[in-house]
Amino acid sequence: MKWVWFTIAWISFILGIIGAFVPILPTTPFLLLAAFLFSKSSPRFHKMVMNLPWAGEAMKDWQDNRVIGIKAKFLCVTMIIFSLLIFWYVPKVQLFIKVFLSLILSSVGIFVVCQKSSSK
């Protein structure tokens, strides 16, 4: 079963990296999923993901304290707004897709904003 977790972890990690460059694809959930799955399958790669220079601290904060920092919240909400603006102003995207994506992105934004900002 470890190899299944390991394979899914790598897929999730790769999707997270791609998500750093593609506005519609989220980065953080995929990296958190990769960290969780690597913790079940490979301590070495779990450590690698948790020590990423650009995401490791935030992931440790979430894992240890369920905290999302103010900077991360601001960036998340900004990217959600940016993504929604793109979708709503692209004329060839059908209305139900716009509404569906708006509901998903709004839900993510609400979740992120409602989380604690510090462990104090």
DSSP per residue over 67-104, as a string?
B--HHHHHHHHHHHHHHHHHHHH-TTS-HHHHHHHHHH
Q: pLDDT by residue (tens digit) across 30-84?
A: 888 888 899 888 888 888 888 777 777 777 877 778 888 888 888 888 888 888 8
| pLDDT attached to residue 119 | 64
Q: pTM for this structure?
A: 0.68
The 8-class DSSP code of residue 116 comes to B
Q: pLDDT by residue (tens digit) across 46-58?
A: 888 887 777 777 7
